[in-house]
Copies of this chain bind each other. A is one copy, B any other.
Amino acid sequence: MLQYSNEKAYTFKGGRVNMVSISDVAKQAHVSKMTVSRVLNHPEQVSKEIFDTVQTAINELGYVQNRAGRALATNKSYTIAFVMLDEVAAVDPYFGQLVTYIADILNQAGYTMELHRSLDNDFHAIDGILVSGARESDDAQLNALTYPLVTYGEQAGAASVDVDNAAGIKLAKQHLVDAGYEQLIYLGLDLDEQFAQARLDGFLDSEIPVDQNNIYRIANDDHIARSLVQTLQLAPKTGIVAATDRLALGALYACLIDQQAVPQDVGIIGFDGIFIHQMGPLTLTTIAQPLERIAEAMVSQLLEQIEQQVRTNPHIVLTPELQLGDTTLHN
């Protein structure tokens, strides 16, 4: 099923085209290579006249800096590795957003982002590493890395950026109570990971007492959540706190199928706020992870380590925000 049609074909002379180097620019501008280098890196040290001459030459020749040469000379590559250890199938939409934000922010700072999917390969020519989806079993490998490093999610022995998961769930509870829901149910994850535990802890927080019998822990699957919720006898004015938007969506389906009025009789609030919350028959009310702020924090912490040439291990915690949708009552 392949269609080939060679309309235009030209060779890349000598491997690549456009091999204008700093020497070519220097010749064209009748100055030394160093002067050209200074125009690029320390323009304040160059006289206005020469600066203009060199700039003109650069434009005329279409000179583009060769990063390999610079990397070799400066021992800096202006490249950051983003290592994505999560299973994409499980975290899909979140991944796309995070990687995009990080790439954009790094780009603005003059860096390039490489994408890696494993810690096993050697890293070459990078100035630092960002990691998402690391587990405890990755600790040894992470600690063996000799690069500036920031992880997403708490990690021993490494700088990290994380969301305050417990605070997020407390926010969710408060919102449901404020909206007049009287009985709270928790649809949680049966995962043995730190964030899952923290979200459960948030639900168990004593400020708003809850009934231990109303806590369920299942896999992060909307179909399973739907089945579970369909077995429950939901009293009027029930508020469902789901540990993820995906679970919340399952609860919503259950209500829809069983003719429960959402948000009048049952309120549903999810967690994450990334794509999935808007994929239901109703837009979910959710606790939104501040992905852009997460990306910014990860990058700025990493660049600080690079600049200071010191590896530090701060644990930066960001508070998620309530994002109103159509599955809870509110003004």
Question: A residues touching B (Cβ–Cβ < 8 Å)?
Answer: 1-12, 14-19, 64-69, 71-72, 75-77, 79, 82, 84, 88, 92-93, 95-97, 99-100, 103-104, 107, 112-118, 121-125, 127, 146-148, 157, 164, 222, 226, 246, 249, 253, 256-257, 275-276, 279-281, 309-319
- Chain B hits for A18, CB < 8 A: 146
**A96–B93 CA distance with the chains assembled, in angstroms:** 7
Q: In the complex, what residues of B have CB within 8 A of residue A84's CB?
A: 100
The complex places the Cα of A246 from the Cα of B180 at a distance, in Å, of: 33
30 A-B residue pairs with CB within 8 Å: A2-B317, A3-B317, A4-B314, A6-B312, A8-B311, A11-B311, A12-B148, A12-B309, A12-B311, A15-B76, A16-B75, A16-B147, A64-B124, A67-B71, A67-B125, A68-B69, A71-B125, A79-B114, A84-B100, A88-B97, A92-B97, A92-B275, A93-B96, A95-B96, A96-B99, A104-B117, A114-B114, A246-B279, A249-B279, A257-B281
Q: Are A319 and B9 in contact (CB under 8 A)?
A: no
A99-B124 contact given A5-B314, A313-B6, CB 8 Å threshold:
no
A310's partner among B10, B97, B314 (CB-CB below 8 A) is B10
User: Which residues of B sit under 8 angstroms from A117, Cβ to Cβ?
Assistant: 100, 103-104, 107
Cβ of A45 to closest chain B Cβ, rounded Å: 22
Query: Nearest Cβ distance between residue A82 and chain B, in whole angstroms?
Result: 8
CA gap between A107 and B275 in the complex, in Å: 29
A93-B93, A281-B226 given; A310·B147 CB < 8 A? no
Verify B15–A75 contact, CB threshold 8 A: yes
Cα distance, A99 to B75, chains bound together (Å): 29
Contact B7 A313, beta carbon cutoff 8 Å: yes
A178 to chain B, nearest CB (A): 22
A138–B269 CA distance with the chains assembled, in angstroms: 41
Query: By the criterion CB–CB under 8 Å, are B125 and A68 in contact?
Result: yes
Which single member of B92, B127, B311 contacts A93 (CB below 8 Å)?
Answer: B92
Tell whether, in the assembled complex, residue A310 and residue B9 are in contact, meaning their CB atoms are under 8 Å apart: yes
Q: Which residue of B lies closest to A82 (CB)?
A: B115
Q: Are A316 and B2 in contact (CB under 8 A)?
A: yes
Given known A-B contacts A114-B113, A124-B65, A313 and B17 have beta carbons under 8 A apart = no
Residues of chain B contacted by A124 (CB below 8 angstroms): 64-67
B316 engages A16 (CB within 8 Å): no
